[in-house]
Structure 1
Amino acid sequence: MNVRYFEPMKHWEDGDIFMPKQLPWYPYAFQTPMSRATLRSRPLLKSFHNFLITEAELGNISRQEAVSMIPPLLLDIKPHHKVLDVCAAPGSKTMQIIEMMHCDEKIPEGLILANDIDNSRCYLLVRQALKRMPTSNCIVINEDAAFLPSLSIDKDTSEPLLFDRVLCDVICSGDGTFRKSPDMWQSWNPVKGLGLHKLQVNIAQRAAQLLAVNGEFFSISFIIFKFMI
């Protein structure tokens, strides 16, 4: 990949084309500030663009922002962990979790429960994650995250299933993404974020109730107001 696609870009850099560079903190991850429009429109990048599309469909690569890759990394997920992805769609972080759980050649003992309240987004989650990275260790459910039901995996006991790792990427106003979407300022007002506060707290509280003793909980929200969660 480096020789065939990245190295030639050194000679094409012109303010729109930038050679991808490896992230120092995430293995096998590369980053480029090139826009999607540049990837699609520049003839020099046609072969690279087709490569990205093909390999993404096959599940060999995944395209996402570097910042969204941080939460699963910090959770330090192991093959034996039971992991709850509370608001999982469209599935990029779920794919990371699957990859981490299958970090060796053995069939992992752990479990990934990926949930989303939106039925259509659950279909997207299945397509994005499970069709590209098939695994028998991931279950997709369609529930309201604020009222996630208690589950049991042992028919001989009624003890609820608790999770070693919980990823809580709650619904938010998205105003913390002004860096990449400055046009959002035109329609921004504090009511959008404040209006979601109660729902965010309810989701976080229910997710925390499903966390096992000594487990790790990570909540994400792209907001300006730090007191949202």
Structure 2
Amino acid sequence: MSKTILIDTSRCTACRGCQIACKEWHELPANKTYQVGWGSHQNPQDLNPNNYKLVRFSEHLDNGVVRWNFFPDQCRHCDIAPCKETGDMYIEEAIVQDEQTGAIVYTANTKGFTKEQFEEIRESCPYNIPRRHEETGIMAKCTMCNDRIHSGMPPVCVKSCPTGAMQFGDREEMLKLAESRLATLKKEWPDAMLADPDSVNVIYLLIDTAENYHKYAVAQAEMTPMSKQQFLATLARPFKAMKG
């Protein structure tokens, strides 16, 4: 049974403990960040090869009241990952999916993708997650702390969250918890929803409309018609399974 992270945004205070813990565990170097001219407490401005997790700040008016929505952005670890399906057409198994956890992991072999191939892989992701290190060419993103999971530990972002906004466990257990929590929140927040719970292993519970968090909060926000290569990649999956 695959593993799932449930992120309850109603409990997120944007402390960024998860963001910092992720950098520390993966020993990622610091980025030069900016406040002047950017106009947001969000730092850095976007995901990058040195930030697998980023707490996004979204400020908007709601009936004359300023509201801040916080969104700890990361890879969703899709059940059927478009990035892997597309990448396998060029270098098979450069992007792998752990059968036990469901985690999608980018290996060092991703440096073999050309810039054009990387862009195609990135465009195939409905959440705009893949990033590429300009110097090494290696693709980078959240690994779901796959190494920690296999050692009996939860992902470090879950471990570091002080408010219980992040929960981790077997998929069925997390789906039940998500539905229960959603029912509770809907009493006060009628727009509350689960973001793509049937297709991803990182499920977000939102209490506001998705567009008030992040343009890629749900897959439908940026879905585009499949390219011919992406379509062929999805067809290739069942044939590969039959061969196996």
More strand by share: 2
Q: In which range does the TM-score fall when normalised by the shorter chain?
A: under 0.3
Could you tell me the TM-score, scaled by structure 1's length?
Answer: 0.26
Could you tell me the TM-score, scaled by structure 2's length?
Answer: 0.25
Higher RCO (CA 8 Å, separation ≥ 6 residues) = 2
Larger CA Rg, structure 1 vs 2: 1
